[in-house]
């Protein structure tokens, strides 16, 4: 048997999170070593402990309660422990977001009513309500979670990616694969001239080639490489996407002057000028805005 992964509950450890719990749950053998009062000898920690974990900024008499917390959290990820596996992925923190409010019977309790949409039987509208409430609750109560949350499933409607090119040298290799990975549908390549559109069609047959950006009343998010006046940090762009009720179109460009002519919200990827190929910029943008867990 492989040596166990040794965890030491400690107020000096890394703050516990759902991501840490999932990592522990994938270990073959986890040993939680509990100290008491002043903890344990530092030499033992240096030699045997793989990870110190804190459950928050408080001090307990021992590590038994944090150990129980970790065991309970890991157990929920074992198939069959929770009756409905779907319930696990819908819980708070699983995707980095808080859960939506939950209601049970009766429909009316002490003068308080269950939201009417939950009684409608319309699964699509119920799903929309749950997604919207989860977004509202997270933005209101724990906006700090947004920076690491996987928000793709919380975007109210479709989200697409368009890249504006000016010549055949535009490097878009792998971008269509990224669109599939992030469930964005087909990549849109925008080229002004017919000759360039024909060239792009031959070079990237899997993409949809357009003569102009077609927003269809979507929120257009223009992503510049570096910070500029009135452009927003990627975290603020993430908030805008979550708050928007409707489609979203992310747009990058080989020549960023093309972005200046579009209406929409402006964001940036870097604090300073960095020469990064266009396809790498796309990858960074999708990871920062939609990063999947």
Instruction: List residues with catalytic annotation.
Output: 11, 38, 76, 91
Q: Return the HEC string of 21-51.
A: HHHHHCCCCEEECCCECCECCHHHHHHHCCE
For residue 281, give both structure tokens: 């910029």
Helix axis angle, 64-75 to 18-25, nearest 10° = 70
Size of the chain, expressed as the number of residues it contains: 293
Please list the residues that pair with 250 across neighbouring strands: 161, 221
Helical packing angle, 278-290 and 234-243, nearest 10°: 60
Q: Are 217 and 248 within 8 A, CB to CB?
A: no
Three-state DSSP state, 282: helix
Which residues make beta-bridge pairs with 226? Answer: 270
Q: 3-class DSSP state for residue 204? A: coil
């Amino acid at each position: 048997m492989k040596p166990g992964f040794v965890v030491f509950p400690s107020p000096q450890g890394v703050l516990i999170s759902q991501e840490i719990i999932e990592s522990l749950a994938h270990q073959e053998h986890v040993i939680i070593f509990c100290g008491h009062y002043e903890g344990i000898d530092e030499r033992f920690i240096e030699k045997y402990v793989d990870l110190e974990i804190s459950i928050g900024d408080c001090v307990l008499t021992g590590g038994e309660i944090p150990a129980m917390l970790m065991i309970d959290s890991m157990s929920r990820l074992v198939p069959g422990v929770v009756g409905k596996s779907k319930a696990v992925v819908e819980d708070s923190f699983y995707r980095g977001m808080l859960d939506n409010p939950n209601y049970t019977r009766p429909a009316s309790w002490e003068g308080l009513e269950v939201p009417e949409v939950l009684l409608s039987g319309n699964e699509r509208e119920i799903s929309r309500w749950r997604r919207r409430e989860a977004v509202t609750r997270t933005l209101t109560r724990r906006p700090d979670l947004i920076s690491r949350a996987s928000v793709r499933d919380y975007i109210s409607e479709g989200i697409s990616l368009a890249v504006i090119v000016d010549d055949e040298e535009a490097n878009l290799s792998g971008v269509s694969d990224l669109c599939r990975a992030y469930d964005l549908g087909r990549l849109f390549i925008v080229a002004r001239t017919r000759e360039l559109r024909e060239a792009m069609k031959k070079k990237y047959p899997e993409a949809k080639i357009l003569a102009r950006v077609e927003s269809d009343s979507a929120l257009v998010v223009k992503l510049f490489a570096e910070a500029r006046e009135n452009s927003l940090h990627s975290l603020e762009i993430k908030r805008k996407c979550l708050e928007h009720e409707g489609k979203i179109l992310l747009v990058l460009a080989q020549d960023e002057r093309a972005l200046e002519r579009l209406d929409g919200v402006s964001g940036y990827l870097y604090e300073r000028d960095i020469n990064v190929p266009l396809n790498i910029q796309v990858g960074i943008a999708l990871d920062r805005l939609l990063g999947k867990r």
